[in-house]
Structure 1
Amino acid sequence: MIEKIFWGLRALLYAPFFGKFGMPSYLGKPVFLKGIRNVFIGNKVRILPNLRMETQDGGTIHIQDDVIISQNVHLTSAGNLIIGKSSLILANVFITNIDHGYSEIGVHVVKQKITVKETRIGENCFIGMGAAIMAGTILGKQCVVGANSVVRGNFPDYCVIVGSPAKIVKKYNPETHVWEKIKERN
């Protein structure tokens, strides 16, 4: 409990440097922050320690209300990255909207052109421990991403996504009110 008081005080100290920092939000001791003037944090956002968050080339990060971000999370954006309200992101997760080029032989990857693709996490999503949400991923409402999944692509509302590469294994059926397994295609 006492650490959360310090995290709240830290949020007050850091708030003027962000594009927006809603209250009452708190911020555990970050490990790295870059370009946070382009980071917009909603109300009641809880960020645990060791966050790495960076924007570049005018990119933005929008974390909507009532989001929880666990420890050791890395968020990076050169475009518009959105994390929907009431989402939970567990530890050791990576979320980006940037792909590094690699086509030029003999040129270091960090010196090659980057590609930016919209990345958006819908509201009330659950991102499991160790997941990687890659550039160009759009998650609908209340998607569940399994631990250690590597996710890229568009996923509809109310689905469970697992694996590397990730695929839908369950979807919510609004008629039966049951999360149903998806039959594998051969």
Structure 2
Amino acid sequence: MIYKIFWALRALLYAPFFGKFGLPSYLGKPLFLMGTRNVFIGKKVRIFPHLRMEVHRKGNIHIQDDVVISQNVHITSAGNLVIGKSSLILANVFITNIDHDYEELDKHVVNQEYIISDTVIGENCYIGMGSAIMAGTKLGKQCIVGANSVVRGEFPDYCVIVGAPAKVVKKYNFETQEWEKVK
């Protein structure tokens, strides 16, 4: 528990370098941060060690209130990237709104233009361990993403998404008050 006090003190020291940093939030170390002026963190955000968060060009990252980000997470943005309030992101997850163009055959892919598509993770989502949330993904409210899923596209509220490529396998039925398989 004492380590969290140090994480909170670190957050106080780092807060002036962010676009917004709500308290009480904390940051575990080590971490790699780039472009923090365009990172906006809400209240009660818990970020565990080994986060890599990068903002390129005119991008931004908005992490809303009460989000938990586990260890070894990589978030990169060159456009708009939002993580909705009360979401949980487990370890080894990658979240982006950037794709690299690869049309110029004689040019290294890293030196080609970015293709930017906004990425939004809805409120109260659960992102399973090892998942990749790719550019242009829009998750509705309370979506569950299974471990090691590769997610791209738009997904409705209250669904379970699994696989590579990910697809909806269950939806919540408010009439029966149960999660039901999708055929």
Smaller-chain TM-score bracket: over 0.9
The answer to whether 1:64 aligns with 2:64 is yes
Is 1:3 the equivalent of 2:3? yes
Question: Equivalent residue for 1:97?
Answer: 97
* Contact 1:30 1:52 survives alignment (8 Å): no
Tell me, in whole angstroms, the C-alpha distance in 1 between the residues paired with 2:168 and 2:158.
10
- Determine whether 1:86 maps to 2:101: no
Task: State how far apart, in whole Å, the 2-side matches of 1:57 and 1:68 are.
Answer: 26
For residues 30 and 39 of structure 1, what CA distance do their matches in structure 2 show? Answer: 18
Matched, 1:12 2:6: no
Q: 1:173 maps to what in 2?
A: 173
1:155 maps to which residue?
155
2:120 corresponds to 1:117 = no
Which residue in 1 is equivalent to 2:132? 132
How many Å separate the matches in 2 of 1:108 and 1:3?
43
Q: Indicate how the Cα distance of structure 1 residues 20 and 30 shifts in structure 2: closer, same or farther if over 3 A, else same.
A: farther
User: Residues 101-157 of structure 1: CA distance to partner in whole angstroms, max 9, x if unpaired?
Assistant: 111112101100111001000000000000000000000000000000000000000
SS at match of 2:160: strand
SS at match of 1:37: helix
Q: What is the match of residue 38 of structure 1?
A: 38
Number of residue-to-residue matches in the alignment: 183
Q: Which amino acid aligns with 2:21?
A: F
Identical counterparts, % of pairs: 78
TM-score (norm 2): 0.99
Instruction: Give the whole-Å Cα distance in 2 for the aligned partners of 1:176 and 1:104.
Output: 53
Query: Partners of 1:10 and 1:58 in 2: how far apart?
Result: 26
Query: Structure 2 CA distance, aligned partners of 1:118 and 1:33?
Result: 20
How much does 1:30 deviate?
3.7
Distance 1:31 1:69 in 2: 12
Instruction: Please report the TM-score for the alignment, with normalisation by the length of structure 1.
Output: 0.97
Tell me the CA shift for residue 58 of structure 1. Answer: 1.0
Structure 2 equivalent of residue 74 of structure 1? 74
Cα RMSD of the aligned pairs, angstroms, is 0.6
